[in-house]
Chain A
Amino acid sequence: MSSLNEPLTQFERNARMVLEESVSRIDARTRSRLNQARQRALEAATARRPRWWSSFALMPAASAAAAALLVTLVLWHRQPAGEPPVLEGQRSAVEDIDLLADGEALDLLEGWDGSFYEWAAAQTDANGESDG
């Protein structure tokens, strides 16, 4: 007798031939039912796949939505109630824009007297030295 991975004996070859013949004689009805069973199994396999597959397919959209939500939440919590947020570096620029937009301020600039301000500054320095 041969062991499993050795060449088959004559008896084993004959037995295999008879078994294969019996398989080839399986009737059409049984073959049809086996075919139907196979199709059902394939449908079950592919019906199962979309559950995890679709989650991977939707992952980029879900990630983008989560990131957008996170950014929104962070900005919401950092913003104080009342006035809109103004960064420190932007404050002076905002004041300059206010001055330029103010019509009276422009009128003052037109009547700019530089010599008066120089005299006033000199007076202030002189007072400081006499006090010291």
Chain B
Amino acid sequence: MPAALLGDVDVDPSAQTRSRALNQFLAGVELKAFKIAQAALRHEDDALDAVQDAMLQLARAYADRPAEEWKPLFYRILENRIRDMQRRRTVRGRVIAWLPFRGEDEDEEADPIAQAPSAEPQPLKRLEIDEAMGALEKALGELPRRQQQAFLLRSLEGLDVAETAAAMGCSEGSVKTHYFRAVQALRAQLGDLV
């Protein structure tokens, strides 16, 4: 339980209501946000960092804004964070390319709890889903960033045109174009697999 909910620092009922609403909002978006960040960054820890930073920034800077604005704001923050990390990674990659030894995280032991799935569908169905999931994630990873973002915000998060445009920081027309091209590219690549 957050310290502030204990009532020691902040006993204002409206503040507690707001804190509960923010908790509910973040709990509702965190898994999808993680998937979106993971698709962009292709790295679990980086994706977690990006989501955490977006949560912190939303909570610090925009918690007092109307709750309806939180979702586009959150995804806008997340997108900026993802872009920053991609830029940093590009710079780091250039530096590491010059080094004689490249450290990898291969010695990190796999956590058995981490490997535990949350749902257990039937084996055959699971194989089909696994195959479709792998193919879709691979195809998504190959999309241009803006197309990937438009597709995921629409298909996974369910944002409408205006919300997607606000989250992406572009016009609604651009959102439609990016989304259309994303679907075309995915359909061409995946065919009947998905």
Given contacts A43-B4, A45-B60, A47-B4, contact A19 B55 (CB under 8 A): no
Q: Chain A residues near B52: list those with CB within 8 A.
A: 34, 37, 40-41
- Whether the Cβ atoms of A48 and B136 lie closer than 8 Å is no
Cross-chain contact of B194 among A5, A14, A26 (Cβ < 8 A): A14
Report chain A residues within 8 Å CB of B136: 15, 18-19, 22
Whether, in the assembled complex, A30 has its beta carbon less than 8 Å from a beta carbon of chain B, the answer is yes
B9, A40: Cβ atoms closer than 8 Å: no
**Cβ B160 vs Cβ A4 within 8 A:** yes
Name B77-117 residues within 8 Å CB distance of A: 111, 113-117
Binary A-proximity of B24-64 (CB < 8 A = 1, otherwise 0):
00110011101100000000100010011001101110010
Taking the nearest CB of chain A, how far is it from the CB of B176, in angstroms?
Answer: 6
Interface range, B side: 35 or more
Interface presence of A49 (CB below 8 A): yes
Assuming A1-B184, A26-B35, A38-B55, is B133 touching A21 (CB within 8 A)?
yes
- Please determine whether A24 and B23 come into contact, CB atoms closer than 8 angstroms: no
Determine whether the beta carbon of A4 is less than 8 Å from that of B175. Answer: yes
CB-defined contacts of A37 to chain B, threshold 8 Å? 30, 48, 51-52, 55-56
Judge whether A11 is part of the interface by a CB distance below 8 angstroms.
Answer: yes
Is A30's CB under 8 angstroms from B48's CB? yes
Picked from B31, B137, B186, the residue with its CB within 8 Å of the CB of A31 is: B31
Contact of A45 among B63, B111, B161 (CB under 8 A): B63
CB within 8 A of B118: which of A19, A28, A39, A44? A28
> Is A27 part of the contact surface with B, judged by Cβ < 8 Å?
yes
Report the count of interface residues on A (CB-CB < 8 A).
42
Complex Cα distance, B4 from A89, in Å, reads 60
B4 near A46 with CB under 8 A, answer: yes
B115 touches A42 (CB 8 A): no
Q: Which residue of B lies closest to A56 (CB)?
A: B12
Q: Within 8 Å of chain A (Cβ to Cβ): is B138?
A: no
Contacting residue for A43 out of B2, B26, B156, B176, CB 8 A:
B2
Is B133 in contact with A18, judged by CB distance below 8 angstroms?
A: yes
Query: Residues of A at under 8 Å CB distance from B?
Result: 1, 3-5, 9, 11-12, 14-16, 18-31, 33-35, 37-50, 53
Chain B residues proximal to chain A, CB less than 8 Å: 2-5, 9-10, 12, 15, 19, 22-23, 26-27, 30-32, 34-35, 44, 48, 51-52, 55-56, 58-60, 63, 111, 113-119, 129, 132-133, 136-137, 152, 154-156, 160-161, 164, 175-176, 179-180, 183-184, 186-187, 194
**Contacts A/B (CB < 8 Å), 22 sampled:** A1-B187, A5-B161, A14-B132, A18-B133, A19-B35, A22-B35, A22-B136, A23-B35, A26-B31, A29-B111, A30-B34, A30-B48, A31-B31, A35-B30, A37-B30, A37-B48, A38-B30, A42-B59, A45-B60, A45-B63, A46-B19, A48-B60
